[in-house]
Amino acid sequence: MKKLKVRRVIHAKRRRGAIPIAVGLGIALGLFAAKPASVHGETAASKLPSLLLGAAWYPEQWPESRWDKDLQLMEAAHLDVVRVGEFAWSSEEPSEGHYDLDWLERAIRMAEKHHIAVVLGTPTDAPPAWLTTKYPETLRVDEDGRRAQHGLRRQFNYADPLYRKFCAQIVTQLAQRFGHDPDVIGWQIGNEYTDESFDADTRRQFDKWLAAHFHTLDALNADWTTAYWSQTYDRWDAIPLPDEANENPGLLLAYKHFVTDTWRSFQRVQIDVIRKYADPRQFITTNYGGLGWSDHFDHYIVAQDLSLASWDDYVGEGHLKVARNGAMHDLVRGFKRANFWVMETQPGSVNWAPVNNTLDRGETRAMAWQAVGHGADAVLYWQWRSALNGQEQYHGSLLGPGGKPLPIYSEVSQVGSEFERAGAALAGTSPKAQVAILHSYNSRWAIDFQRFNRNYHQLSVLLDYYRPLRQQRLTVDIVNADAPLDSYKLVLAPDLNVISSQLAAHLLAYVEQGGDLLLGPRSGMKNEYDALNVQRQPGPLVAPLGGRVEEYYALETAVPVSGAMGVGTAALWAERLWVRAPDDTVLLRYGKSNGWLDGHAAMITRRVGKGRISYLGAVLDPALMDRVIAWATSDAKIKPEFAPLPDGVEVCRRVSASHTIFVLINHGAVPAEIQLPVAMKNVLDGGKNVTRVQLGAQGVSVLESAR
């Protein structure tokens, strides 16, 4: 205990010298710049560093006599922030209309004592038993008409007005009590929005939503081509609430938009309450789940009302898939086109995978630094201490059920120490990319409704484009298809299935002004109503491309492909391209295969205005795809952002107006030596100038270079 006390005093002094916090949107808006004078003296929030480490803490699950010890251990591990309260409704409102927030106040004050700030979760993901028992209509109904039962989470009906009323009431109590608390730096709305409801009232809401969006049944029938299979509707309430994928594609796409708007309005109820009573300096976010790739709703739309985006970064079974995880960070960064938070990540293992193995020693640290390299300003572990009971008893944690640190605690403590040393250098920096990958929920939904080849996985296709860019040591933005594109030299659009006339005009303007656009297979097949574009692919971009897709083929076996980029194969999907414009160039052709593809174009390109538009109609093998991306980056005059690296070593770049930060991570099991292109400061080693870096297995180096 004596040693721990000494460490705690040193740690407190270090914090008092730290710089003011800047997280996500706070960098741009100064969310933490102005706050009322604290009656508690120096607060945990007043001197937070720019790079935060934290954990999910559940004080309501433990005797209050234990809290101080837990927070001592957090402080000793260099934790800056805890998220609390997101599942605590039954503790905050033990019975209807009777609130108990004093315990939460004491927990926040105790955290303040240990220089730890608080993100307060609204508890609306897990309603208390008194609510669901007395008001069963607040429980969601599944596709088969079964009402959810108490004891789980996400059992609520997100569209139910009564449930939203109860949400507003508990959030009002929290915001009135803690909206001006100097140590509450932000709010998390609910937890991992996931499940919709198929009850009768939600269906009526869907009918009203359709009427508001299509205005007339004639317009709806025309857009959905409802003459097919006698689907024509003469009443709004005759339209089904779709519960299976074999429905009219237009109906399915409209339903996804309804789900998106319903989640956004559910979230908005709570945001409006918080903004009414809370300081503007307190940010508002929600934690996206689904391993980053969930598509229950359009994340870009739901994120519009948030201060910053955050997500829950888990590996599950196996080990870190470097390209996939990096792409998910970049995807989340694209929701707000700004730095983000990792609100949950695994401390070694989870409990929900088929095999819940523990990450290798050093892998948890490497995972944290990868998040930072891709734009995270905070990393929080789930969870702090193993719960004695409940569905997640086996989940990884920093402390065991008896309150003793587990082996992973020391590795997380190392991460915290490194975050403190690197925080000043990383302050005000963010990833800056020359190349973007376009991502669209409309396109994802449209393809998943009708995959045509069960082995066609859109994430795999996206990674086919993403991985070669990262291997070229390039920062990549993954952004919504209608995002501003002026700052990019190259834009890649893997399977951008839905291209409306408005989106086509946006993309064409980018090309005409000097941008390079590469469209991937299945692009432009559909319009905004999930109907086929009559021009064939790529829809409204056929004319500027000077060519089109004549036919598409789901492949049983690989077919040969060759041309300017060399020789390779196409698998899963191949499109036969017809070239119309005399100035089109064919870059790849199919070899002999099924007779329909033989000798026909697989990839074409054309200069348009000051830029170039290209179309690749096949899913290529990795080696040939590498060469296609190398051609695209070369044509766009994009140069690597760092020197060549050994296999298994990732480089991430964050920049500010004054300097550049490179985060090097050796994800391999073999040590690596890196020769730097110029001398740089070794941030984690006292700022020494170095020209060479040695990285052990799972090793990390943070380097600072002049701008």
pLDDT digits (tens, 9 = 90+) for 631-651: 999 999 999 999 999 999 999
Same domain, 535 and 500: yes
Percent of the chain with pLDDT over 90: 89
Domain at 659, CATH number: 2.60.40.1180
- Told to judge if 93 belongs to the known catalytic residues of this protein, a careful annotator would answer no
Query: DSSP class of residue 522?
Result: T
pLDDT of residue 431 exceeding 80:
yes
- Whether 440 and 526 map to the same domain: the answer is yes
Q: Is residue 58, in this structure, part of any structural domain at all? A: yes
Looking at the fold, whether 389 and 310 belong to one and the same domain comes out as yes
pTM for the structure as a whole: 0.93
Average pLDDT over residues 690-694: 96
* Tokens describing residue 348: 């070694």
pLDDT of 301 > 50? The answer is yes
* SS (HEC) of 318-356: CCCCHHHHHHHHHHHHHHHCCCEEEEEECCCCCCCCCCC
Q: Are residues 492 and 457 in the same domain?
A: yes
Cα(167)–Cα(86) distance, rounded to whole angstroms?
Answer: 12
Please identify, among 397, 426, 455, the residue that sits at the C-terminal boundary of a domain: 426
Same domain, yes or no: 234 and 267: no
Give the pLDDT mean for 100-117: 97
Amino acid at 653: R
What gap in Å lies between CA 96 and CA 704, rounded to an integer? 55
pLDDT for position 617: 98
Q: Does the pLDDT of residue 65 top 70, yes or no?
A: yes
pLDDT band at 42 (very low <50, low <70, confident <90, very high): low
Going 415 to 416 to 417 to 423, the CA torsion angle's sign is positive
For residues 444 and 372, state if they share a domain: no
What band does 47 get if pLDDT is binned at 50, 70 and 90?
A: confident
Which residue is catalytic, options 344, 411, 641, 704? 344
- From the candidates 192, 420, 575, 641, give the one annotated as an active-site residue: 192
- Quote the distance between the C-alpha of residue 255 and its chain's center: 22
Q: Residue 108 domain-assigned?
A: yes
Mean of pLDDT values over 114-136: 97
Residue 210 has pLDDT above 90, yes or no: yes
Q: What is the mean pLDDT of the chain?
A: 93
Q: What is the pLDDT of residue 5?
A: 35
Instruction: Please report which confidence band the pLDDT of residue 354 belongs to, taking 50, 70 and 90 as the band edges.
Output: very high
| 245-268: average pLDDT | 95
What's the rounded mean pLDDT across residues 43-53?
Answer: 84
The answer, yes or no, to whether residue 41 has pLDDT greater than 90, is no
The verdict on residue 499 lying in a domain is yes
Q: State the total domains in the chain.
A: 4
Q: Which residues form the domain of 698? A: 649-706
Q: Which helix (H) or strand (E) holds 548?
A: strand 547-554
pLDDT digits (tens, 9 = 90+) for 355-378: 989 999 999 999 999 999 999 999
Indicate which CATH number applies to the domain containing 54.
Answer: 3.20.20.80
Model pLDDT, residue 631: 98
**Tokens 């009402």 correspond to what residue?**
147
Same domain, 233 and 356: no
With residue 89 as reference, give the H or E element that holds it: helix 89-92
pLDDT for 95: 97
- Give Rg (Cα) of the chain: 26
| pLDDT of 8 over the 90 cut | no
Tell me, what's the pLDDT at 246?
A: 80
Q: Which pLDDT score is estimated for 404?
A: 96
| Whether residues 660 and 681 fall in one domain | yes
Q: Is residue 529 part of a domain?
A: yes
Where is 161: in which H helix or E strand? helix 161-178
Place of tokens 């695994």: 346
Distance, CA of 265 to CA of 305 (rounded, Å): 10
Same-domain status, 479 and 576:
yes
Cβ atoms of 695 and 671 within 8 Å: the answer is yes
pLDDT at residue 190 greater than cutoff 70:
yes
In a domain, 224, yes or no: yes
Does 218 share its domain with 319? Answer: no
**What is the predicted pLDDT for the residue at 393?**
84
Q: What is the pLDDT of residue 707?
A: 73
- Residue 35 in any domain: the answer is yes
Last residue within a domain, chosen from 612, 635, 658: 635
Residues 358 and 480 in one domain: no
Residue 598 domain-assigned? yes
**Residue 523, domain CATH:** 3.40.50.880
Domain closes at, from 186, 213, 238:
238
347 and 233 share a domain? no
* 451 is a domain residue: yes
Q: Is 344 a catalytic residue?
A: yes
Span of 16-25, 431-440, 577-586 with lowest mean pLDDT = 16-25
pLDDT value of position 45: 72
Instruction: State residue 1's pLDDT score.
Output: 37
Would you say residue 18 has pLDDT above 70? no
Q: What is the mean pLDDT of residues 227-237?
A: 95
